[in-house]
Structure 1
Amino acid sequence: QEFRGKIPEAYERLLLDAMQGDASLFARSDEVELAWSICDPILAQWKETNAPELAIYEPGFWGPEESTRWMYEQGRQWFDTCPVLG
């Protein structure tokens, strides 16, 4: 099956859906509240226990080198099969 016409950009789609009253691509307030009720205690505990900093990596890469090292220590490896990422 083929598409006819211009495919809308991501935000065009969201704005159009919002104007038409379709909220299916938006998070409901109860979803957001529940997510934060889970994340907040984890973040607070992380801060209180002097946990190590989160490993940060540049966009376009598979992830932080620390994750590869950790997998190796577990006798495992990542299967990086996407040709787009370096």
Structure 2
Amino acid sequence: MRLIFGVLALLVALGVVAQLARTQLAATRTERVVPAAGEGAASPGGGAVVSPRHQPQEVKRAVEGLMQQARPMPEDKP
């Protein structure tokens, strides 16, 4: 009898986890519509909207630009 309840409890837990996984996967499957470059749309952060396919290149360019900036020199403390 205990074996039956144990198996049923495991099946219920598996069902709950499967439902949570399904909702999480459904949230990531939403398609993002990227407007054409001529439309001038901007993201809420103020930057241009970039398609997910071009994001790695944009991040690489941003990091390279930051690496080229001169660092401020600390003041000497006597």
With the length of structure 2 as denominator, give the TM-score of the two structures. Answer: 0.27
Structure exhibiting the larger radius of gyration computed from Cα positions: 2
Higher normalized helix content (fraction of residues): 2
